[in-house]
């Protein structure tokens, strides 16, 4: 693309790529000197040129080289969003975009919305924690919310392949780091806010402020959806955003769930909307998924689909991989796999498993905590597992540059009971739990969900996933019996 499309210049350079990482080898790239968490992009401008960039966007004086176009601006991030919109021809304005943020429930709610829309014949994409998906394409995500260049590239491809709507998870880091500030969202939802990511945000107030940025930036005609049973959501409701709707169980809301019945293989409740009751059956498990289903119903109904059309689709709606997944290979006990890796999400999972575990039988759980991430939540995770499970097997999670034993000591510091042991290799820990389980016990493998990698100091290492590991081991030891 001619550089004149972006700036007023006499240069005749062609720009073929927008570059944020100076290590990327490109031809005719434009490099943006962004301030990162630990490094300053200005320090790597020369490296970017050596790797093929012919234009540098910067905000501070830097050393210049012949043949390179230097574009000094007041704010590099603002310029990145402006130029990215031109480069990809504003794809978010050509799509109907659903946004969701919150600590827990984003993936399940958005994928439920996506799956119902698919059944309605809508060509809909998804970008979030689990994957990037549209048509026959499915990619592993780099981040829950990618940077604006990667995100715009995906959206451009979706437009070109006939996608009309996209469900997008928006993380607090993505908001705080301004990754989506030029994206044109048509609605936004909030699930809840609990302890997580404080290694980055430092305080819950900062964490909430990052989430709030999404709703403060919505265009006037967009609608918003909030969970009335969450204290931070109530703060957003008090802002009285236009076209707002609510869902909940305990507190008054537009969409309420009553007479909830939790089962091992599904959930039933009565939806109350404008004084009318609707029986709902869902294949999703546990009380936290009642909230996710309510959120999905509210989003789809507010979008314009009748409740009488939405509700029947929920009875056999596709299960989200790694979210309250049941592994059954004929063994005489239950095995659950869940992605929950924050104290509150772990608590929700254990509460459900306790309800479906017969009195007198045990809950055995396997989990670890992420390295180089929020240290403060580790003792809290330890407390919840120690008090809500009967036996805890502590193991690796994503240790990154920390030793697994050091992470484990942090977890143990919050455990009031000595009902734990340490098995450092995750596969071995899962095997130990499965071999310990007696008939009618429950095994909970929590934290990794469907993830197919473990972060090491050198980067990602392939991991089969907890569900696959459990299935393989159950077949090995029980042979379907």
So what's the pLDDT on residue 444?
Answer: 96
User: How many angstroms separate the CA atoms of 82 and 172, rounded?
Assistant: 22
Q: Where in the chain is the domain with CATH 3.40.1390.10?
A: 3-87
Domain 91-314 class in CATH:
alpha beta
DSSP code of 352? Answer: H
So what's the pLDDT on residue 263?
Answer: 84
Query: What mean pLDDT comes out for the span 417-430?
Result: 96
Q: Where in the chain is the domain with CATH 3.90.190.20?
A: 325-478
Fold classification of 325-478 is: 3.90.190
So what's the pLDDT on residue 196?
Answer: 64
Query: What mean pLDDT comes out for the span 149-158?
Result: 97
So what's the pLDDT on residue 219?
Answer: 96
User: How many angstroms separate the CA atoms of 307 and 116, rounded?
Assistant: 12
Confidence of residue 388 (pLDDT cuts 50, 70, 90): very high
So what's the pLDDT on residue 200?
Answer: 64
- CB distance 74 to 120 below 8 Å: no
So what's the pLDDT on residue 199?
Answer: 63
Phi first, then psi: what are they for 208, rounded to 5°?
-65, -40
- CB distance 172 to 180 below 8 Å: no
Confidence of residue 3 (pLDDT cuts 50, 70, 90): very high
Confidence of residue 198 (pLDDT cuts 50, 70, 90): low
pLDDT tens-digit series, residues 211-223: 999 999 999 999 9
pTM of the model: 0.81
Mapped onto helix, strand or coil, the DSSP state of residue 94 is helix
Confidence of residue 480 (pLDDT cuts 50, 70, 90): low
So what's the pLDDT on residue 16?
Answer: 97
Confidence of residue 162 (pLDDT cuts 50, 70, 90): very high
Confidence of residue 321 (pLDDT cuts 50, 70, 90): low
| 339: pLDDT strictly greater than 60 | yes
So what's the pLDDT on residue 201?
Answer: 62
Q: Where in the chain is the domain with CATH 3.40.1190.10?
A: 91-314
So what's the pLDDT on residue 345?
Answer: 85
Percent above pLDDT 70 for the chain:
98
| 24: pLDDT strictly greater than 90 | yes
- Token pair belonging to 289: 């998924």
Mean pLDDT for the chain? 93
So what's the pLDDT on residue 197?
Answer: 59
| 297: pLDDT strictly greater than 80 | yes
So what's the pLDDT on residue 192?
Answer: 92
Domain 3-87 class in CATH:
alpha beta
Query: What mean pLDDT comes out for the span 288-299?
Result: 96
Confidence of residue 322 (pLDDT cuts 50, 70, 90): low
| 204: pLDDT strictly greater than 90 | no
- Token pair belonging to 381: 């995770």
pLDDT tens-digit series, residues 228-265: 999 999 999 999 999 999 999 999 999 999 999 988 78
Q: Is 229 exposed, middle or buried (0-12, 13-18, 19+ CB in 10 A)?
A: middle
User: How many angstroms separate the CA atoms of 188 and 404, rounded?
Assistant: 38
């Amino acid at each position: 693309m001619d550089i004149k499309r972006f700036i007023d210049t006499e240069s005749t350079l062609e720009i073929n790529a927008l570059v944020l990482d100076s290590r990327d080898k490109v031809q005719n790239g434009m490099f943006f000197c962004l301030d990162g968490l630990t490094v300053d992009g200005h320090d790597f401008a020369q490296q970017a040129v050596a790797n093929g960039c012919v234009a540098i966007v910067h905000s501070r004086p830097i050393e210049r080289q012949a043949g390179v176009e230097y574009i000094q601006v007041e704010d590099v991030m603002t310029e990145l969003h402006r130029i990215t919109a031109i480069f990809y021809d504003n794809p978010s304005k050509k799509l109907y975009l659903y946004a969701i943020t919150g600590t827990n429930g984003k993936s399940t709610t958005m994928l439920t919305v996506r799956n119902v829309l698919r059944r309605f014949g809508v060509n809909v994409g998804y970008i979030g924690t689990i994957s990037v998906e549209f048509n026959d394409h499915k990619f592993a995500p780099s981040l829950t919310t990618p940077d604006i260049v990667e995100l715009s590239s995906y959206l451009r491809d979706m437009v070109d392949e006939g996608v009309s709507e996209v469900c997008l998870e928006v993380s607090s880091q993505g908001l705080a780091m301004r990754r989506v500030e030029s994206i044109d969202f048509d609605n936004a939802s909030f699930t809840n806010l609990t302890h997580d990511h404080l290694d980055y945000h430092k305080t819950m107030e900062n964490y909430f402020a990052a989430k709030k940025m999404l709703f403060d930036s919505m265009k006037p005609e967009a609608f918003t959806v909030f969970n009335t049973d969450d204290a931070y959501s109530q703060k957003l409701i008090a802002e009285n955003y236009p076209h707002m709707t609510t869902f909940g169980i305990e507190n008054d809301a537009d969409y309420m769930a009553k007479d909830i019945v939790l089962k091992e293989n599904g959930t039933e409740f009565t939806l109350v909307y404008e004084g009318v009751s609707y029986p709902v059956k869902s294949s999703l498990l546990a009380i936290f998924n009642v909230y996710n289903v309510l959120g999905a119903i509210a989003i789809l109904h507010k979008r314009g689909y009748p409740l009488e059309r939405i509700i029947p689709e929920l009875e056999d709606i596709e299960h989200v991989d790694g979210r309250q997944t049941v592994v059954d290979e004929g063994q005489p006990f239950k095995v659950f796999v869940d992605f929950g890796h924050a104290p509150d999400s772990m608590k929700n999972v254990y509460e459900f498993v306790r309800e479906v575990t017969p009195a007198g039988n045990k809950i055995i759980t396997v989990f670890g905590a992420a390295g180089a991430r929020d240290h403060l939540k580790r003792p809290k995770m330890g407390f919840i597992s120690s008090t809500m499970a009967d036996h805890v097997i502590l193991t690796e999670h994503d240790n990154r540059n920390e030793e697994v034993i050091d992470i484990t000591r942090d977890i143990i510091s919050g455990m009031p009971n000595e009902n734990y042991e340490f098995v450092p290799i995750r596969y071995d820990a899962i095997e130990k739990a499965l071999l310990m389980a007696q008939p009618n016990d429950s095994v909970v493998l929590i934290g990794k969900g469907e993830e197919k990698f473990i972060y090491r100091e050198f980067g990602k290492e392939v991991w089969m996933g907890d569900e696959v590991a459990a299935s393989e081991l159950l077949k090995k030891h029980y042979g379907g019996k």
